[in-house]
A and B are shown apart, each in its own frame.
Chain A
Amino acid sequence: MPDVDPLVNELRAIVGNDYVIHLPEDLIVFEYDGSVDKAMPSAVVLPGSTAEVSEVVSAASRAGVPIVARGAGTGLSGGAVAEQGGLVVALTRMKRILEIDPADHLAVVEPGVVNLDISTAAAEYGLYFAPDPSSQRACTIGGNVAENSGGPHCLAYGVTTNHVLGMEVVLADGSIAWLGGRTRETPGYDLRGIVIGSEGTLAIATKIVVRLLKQPEAVKTLLAVFKEMDQASSAVSGIIAAGIVPAAIEMMDHFCIEAVEPAVNAGYPKGAGAVLLVEVDGLSEAVEEEASEIERVCRSYDPMEIRAAVDEEERARLWAGRKGVLGALGRLAPNYYLVDGTIPRTRLMEVLARITEIGDKYGLPIANLLHAGDGNLHPSVLFDERDPDQLRRTMEAGAEILELCVEAGGVLSGEHGIGLEKQEYMPLMFNDEDMAAMAKLAPAFGSRGRFNPGKIFPTGKTRAPIPHAGAVARTGAGAFI
């Protein structure tokens, strides 16, 4: 690693002394993100403008120091961890909402703006920003762009890339360019779409033009409770088969219910094998009809109970249950290893049964909470990291689940990204030629080895077998998915 001290002085000249962090005791908070991987950056810089980002990038480039861009650090695959050391560029000072344009249904924001703050600011115009990762009270739009974040409501509304019209970015040579723009179509290759989801390896977004949607006039949230997971899975397929794409369909198994109910009092009944949380929104006429049809579909799978939230308070409580699951899993075991994968939604029943078998095989309970509507699974292996053998079994179970997802026609990650966590699994989905084609992007953007090096592609190293050990202890009740 090159000596960063001269760089620190240069950075201070660019952003001011207060915004360069380089003492080890101060750097510790930048050592990790929402995943478990850790690495100490050599320095952290907090630029306050596009011009400063550009100068910082140029300075780091001249010094040969790699850069890791960082938002709120809530990511779950190690995207913001400075694996090879280097300079962390934290964009949290750039948090201005520059413009809300109610006539064109768009907003222009800086990368450090918190996801939920966009919707809050747009609310006075009856507009909102649709992607809603569970960390939306903390995560930044810049991080959402890097990871192409989803959320429960992306079933009907799509993920980040479907809601970003354009971006101002700083490239690895310090130059500034606009990708896309304010209009819906722009000529040329869709560089905007390539950068979104590139996990900070191609460019640093410094302004983002997001599309805003009209707030739905009506929302209805249903809770359907089943004795068995199979019934809940069948109901999900039944809803889609009826030609309905609800705003969200979330599923939680008995482990999740057991863990979260005493903690949150969401109103999930005891003894249930699975609950579905289904939300429909839109025009009141459509919402009423769809909700009653969803209810009819669910009834045909012999539910223990179906209930619609009668008011906003009950709706919030039902969602609080869903959002509190991860934090509450600590009641069942000291640690969990959260796996993120997507499968074709018609194969839910079979894949969930096989995940239970995997748990049995390794002697570990696996809690399932999932964005069931789009087949995005989050099996969480429950274990105690103090027992090295449990730890080993957890990692093997996690690997087997990912293999299962791919074998069932699915993918390695639905919304958390590859980062450091899954880079060694990439060959399950892609051969060398596929990856070689992907690997041409970084040289084309001039960012190879400069922006977030060592991510996404397999290194050939065996992973240290502790991806998420301790994640509960670190993130506690604020843990997000």
Chain B
Amino acid sequence: MAAWGADAAELVDAVNGAAGGPAACSGADAYGIDGVTPKVAVRPAAVDAVSAVTAAAHRAGAAVTPWGGGTRTSIGNLPRRYDVALDLTGLDQIIAHNPGDLTATVQAGVTAAALQRTLADHGQFLAVDPPLPESATVGGALAVGSSGPLKWQYGSVRDVVIGMKVVQADGAVTKSGGQVVKNVSGYDVARLHVGGLGTLGVIVEVSLKLTPLPAHETTVTASYGSASDAIDAALDIFGGGTAPLALTVIDASAAADFKDLESGACHLAVRFGGRPRAVERMVSEAQAASKRHGCRRIRQADGAGAASLWRQAADFGWDTATRPTVGVRASVTPASVGSLWAALQRQGTAPGGRTALVGHPAHGIVQAHWRSDGAQPVDEAARAFIRSARRAIRAAGGKMVVEQCPASAKAGLDVWDDVGDQIAVMRSLKDQYDPRRVLSPGRYVGGI
């Protein structure tokens, strides 16, 4: 595999030529990943130009990393090579919104917030809530693939995709799926790219399944003396007769970073949506469950107050105010959340600094964030935190991804969990779709 050997100017020329003009951005420095800066950054404004740039890089043996809003580029192993940042924010068109069909087709670089605003005008939304939606792009959210608090009720990020156009590693533009909500025509190739971190192809356009905005929404927040009570209450509601849109537990340490949450307590936030009378009943059942588990105080918020809480919950760990030194995302079964939480809390303070936990028990997600207090060498402490988190998560039968970590601590670390026997097929997919290792080499599972 020939790495890019020529000088940067030559690559810039090749990329500019391919993009049909001076599309290369100045300041490739802004596109660094784990301290590695690309030789050139390019921001094409059309799918054809993305194809041409990718094809040029493919011919040259240069390594390309697709770039959306740049909000979660900390996810991934250290780049093995990184020559071209392919900024897709120039693909910012909402191609079609068909309110009557509850579908939309958008370019990958549309921001999540811009799309939601357009959809909201028609009483609809995309049931995906990535962090930092003003910057995060639809393509980026899909490439990362992990879901926010809304996942329980509305399903995974991967479930909203009904069609996709992808630029392959050699520049070929291919499509799969369609623009309708029910379709089994041909292989569902889009599934490779949702959560694929841009390592098998560059997502350039997607068709999406939309959801009507709930007629009425409200949020109940209950505070607890212990996280285990909050989690028990959450699982009680999960197993009960009501169906909240989201169910999120915030520990006392994390609560300190939330604007409207009482500090020194754990919190369970439950988001309800639907017909007013149904919401009213769900609220009273959630209140009853909270009381059964010994909550101290219950509050209810609507409108801006609730929106702000859920914004903070989805952004947690990704905005500058709450960014941790190390961020770990664990996935366990709902019933294992309590034991995992306890284990993480026990080991949390071991390396010094501060640990904060936020979790969505109904879909088994726990985010464990550790912030260094500078008292110890950060790399060593970070590795210690990751090691003990991994032990706790394995013991709970779960899988984890280290989403944030100092680049200096990443050497020799696989930020992804062991994926078992399926790794052979995953490697073989990379061989098929990107044999020259053009797309983000090294950053994915098992060093793919």
Q: A105-B334, A240-B100, A290-B275 are in contact. Are A188 and B184 (CB under 8 A)?
A: no
Chain A hits for B181, CB < 8 A: 342, 374-375
Chain A hits for B444, CB < 8 A: 188
Chain B hits for A147, CB < 8 A: 184
Which residue of B146, B158, B159, B182 is within 8 Å of A375 (Cβ)?
Answer: B182
Q: Does B155 contact A (CB under 8 A)?
A: yes
Q: Does A344 contact B (CB under 8 A)?
A: yes
Question: Chain A nearest CB: distance from B17 CB in Å?
Answer: 23
Question: Chain B nearest CB: distance from A5 CB in Å?
Answer: 33
Q: Does B192 contact A (CB under 8 A)?
A: yes
Contact B195 A190 (CB under 8 A): yes
Bound-state Cα–Cα, A241 to B212, Å:
9
Q: Mark the stretch among B26-34, B287-295, B421-429 that contacts chain A.
A: B421-429
Q: Does A161 contact B (CB under 8 A)?
A: yes
Chain B hits for A411, CB < 8 A: 178, 180, 183, 185
Q: Mark the stretch among A33-41, A60-68, A177-185, A258-266 that contacts chain B.
A: A177-185
Q: Which of A179, A184, A237, A445 has the most CB of B within 10 A?
A: A184
Q: Does B416 contact A (CB under 8 A)?
A: yes
Chain A hits for B94, CB < 8 A: none
Q: Does B410 contact A (CB under 8 A)?
A: no
Closest to B212 in A: A243
Q: Mask for A250-293, Cβ within 8 A of B = 1, else 0? A: 00000000000000000000000000000000110110011000
Question: Chain A nearest CB: distance from B239 CB in Å?
Answer: 7
Bound-state Cα–Cα, A177 to B420, Å:
8
Within 8 A of A (CB), among B247-276: 274-275
Question: Chain A nearest CB: distance from B189 CB in Å?
Answer: 6
Bound-state Cα–Cα, A187 to B330, Å:
10
Contact A438 B185 (CB under 8 A): no
Q: Does B442 contact A (CB under 8 A)?
A: no
Contact B278 A188 (CB under 8 A): no
Contact A429 B200 (CB under 8 A): no
Contact A158 B159 (CB under 8 A): yes
Which residue of B158, B213, B241, B445 is within 8 Å of A217 (Cβ)?
Answer: B241
Give how many A residues have a beta carbon under 8 Å from the other chain's beta carbons: 86
Which residue of A181, A194, A244, A374 is within 8 Å of B182 (Cβ)?
Answer: A374
Q: Does A73 contact B (CB under 8 A)?
A: no
Bound-state Cα–Cα, A30 to B147, Å:
43
Give how many B residues have a beta carbon under 8 Å from the other chain's beta carbons: 88
Which residue of B99, B182, B282 is within 8 Å of A150 (Cβ)?
Answer: B182
Q: Mask for A421-454, Cβ within 8 A of B = 1, else 0? A: 0100010011001111110110111100000000
Chain B hits for A197, CB < 8 A: 184, 187-188
Question: Chain A nearest CB: distance from B283 CB in Å?
Answer: 12
Q: Does B331 contact A (CB under 8 A)?
A: yes
Which residue of A187, A244, A290, A414 is within 8 Å of B183 (Cβ)?
Answer: A414
Q: Mask for B394-425, Cβ within 8 A of A = 1, else 0? A: 00011111000000000000001101111111
Question: Chain A nearest CB: distance from B248 CB in Å?
Answer: 14
Bound-state Cα–Cα, A345 to B365, Å:
35
Q: Does A214 contact B (CB under 8 A)?
A: yes
Bound-state Cα–Cα, A443 to B174, Å:
18
Question: Chain A nearest CB: distance from B50 CB in Å?
Answer: 15
Contact A177 B422 (CB under 8 A): yes
Which residue of B102, B179, B185, B331 is within 8 Å of A184 (Cβ)?
Answer: B331
Q: Does B307 contact A (CB under 8 A)?
A: no
Q: Mask for A290-302, Cβ within 8 A of B = 1, else 0? A: 1000000000000
Contact A190 B282 (CB under 8 A): no
Which residue of B180, B275, B363 is within 8 Å of A343 (Cβ)?
Answer: B180
Contact A187 B184 (CB under 8 A): no
Chain A hits for B398, CB < 8 A: 183
Contact B239 A418 (CB under 8 A): no
Closest to A342 in B: B180
Q: Mask for B94-133, Cβ within 8 A of A = 1, else 0? A: 0000111111000000000000000000010000000000
Q: A243-B212, A285-B277, A409-B180 are in contact. Are A433 and B174 (CB under 8 A)?
A: yes
Q: Does A193 contact B (CB under 8 A)?
A: yes
Q: Does A55 contact B (CB under 8 A)?
A: no
Closest to B177 in A: A411
Q: A183-B399, A283-B282 are in contact. Are A342 and B99 (CB under 8 A)?
A: no
Within 8 A of A (CB), among B133-174: 145-147, 151, 155-156, 158-159, 166, 168, 172-174
Bound-state Cα–Cα, A115 to B182, Å:
20
Which residue of B98, B191, B432 is within 8 Å of A193 (Cβ)?
Answer: B191
Contact B99 A438 (CB under 8 A): no
Contact B426 A103 (CB under 8 A): no
Q: Does B186 contact A (CB under 8 A)?
A: yes
Q: Does A148 contact B (CB under 8 A)?
A: yes
Q: A187-B401, A445-B425 are in contact. Are A214 and B241 (CB under 8 A)?
A: yes
Bound-state Cα–Cα, A182 to B130, Å:
23
Chain A hits for B243, CB < 8 A: 214, 282-283
Q: Does A70 contact B (CB under 8 A)?
A: no
Closest to A417 in B: B184
Bound-state Cα–Cα, A413 to B195, Å:
26
Question: Chain B nearest CB: distance from A295 CB in Å?
Answer: 15
Q: Does B304 contact A (CB under 8 A)?
A: no
Bound-state Cα–Cα, A162 to B127, Å:
14
Chain A hits for B100, CB < 8 A: 237, 240-241, 344-346
Contact B399 A444 (CB under 8 A): no
Closest to A127 in B: B239
Bound-state Cα–Cα, A416 to B278, Å:
36
Bound-state Cα–Cα, A175 to B424, Å:
10
Contact A184 B156 (CB under 8 A): yes
Contact B281 A430 (CB under 8 A): no
Chain A hits for B400, CB < 8 A: 187
Q: A344-B101, A345-B101, A410-B180 are in contact. Are A103 and B172 (CB under 8 A)?
A: no
Contact A456 B200 (CB under 8 A): no
Contact B445 A188 (CB under 8 A): yes
Contact B423 A188 (CB under 8 A): yes
Closest to A186 in B: B399
Chain B hits for A46, CB < 8 A: none
Contact B425 A434 (CB under 8 A): no
Q: Does B242 contact A (CB under 8 A)?
A: yes
Contact A183 B332 (CB under 8 A): yes
Contact B365 A184 (CB under 8 A): yes
Question: Chain A nearest CB: distance from B309 CB in Å?
Answer: 22
Contact B179 A409 (CB under 8 A): yes
Q: Which of B123, B168, B399, B425 has the most CB of A within 10 A?
A: B425
Contact B213 A243 (CB under 8 A): yes
Q: Does A231 contact B (CB under 8 A)?
A: no
Q: A243-B215, A411-B185 are in contact. Are A282 and B98 (CB under 8 A)?
A: no
Contact A344 B180 (CB under 8 A): yes
Which residue of A150, A343, A416, A440 is within 8 Å of B432 (Cβ)?
Answer: A440
Closest to A416 in B: B184
Question: Chain B nearest CB: distance from A270 CB in Å?
Answer: 31
- Complex A-B: 23 CB contacts under 8 Å: A104-B335, A159-B182, A185-B364, A187-B400, A188-B423, A188-B445, A189-B196, A190-B145, A193-B158, A193-B188, A196-B188, A240-B102, A241-B100, A283-B278, A289-B277, A345-B101, A415-B184, A417-B184, A422-B185, A433-B172, A438-B187, A440-B429, A446-B428
In the A-B complex, the 3 residue pairs with the closest CB atoms? A193-B191, A243-B212, A177-B421
Known: A188-B419, A188-B422, A456-B187. 16 other contacts (CB 8 A): A106-B333, A154-B182, A159-B182, A161-B188, A162-B159, A177-B420, A185-B365, A187-B401, A190-B145, A196-B188, A198-B187, A237-B100, A375-B181, A413-B183, A414-B183, A422-B185
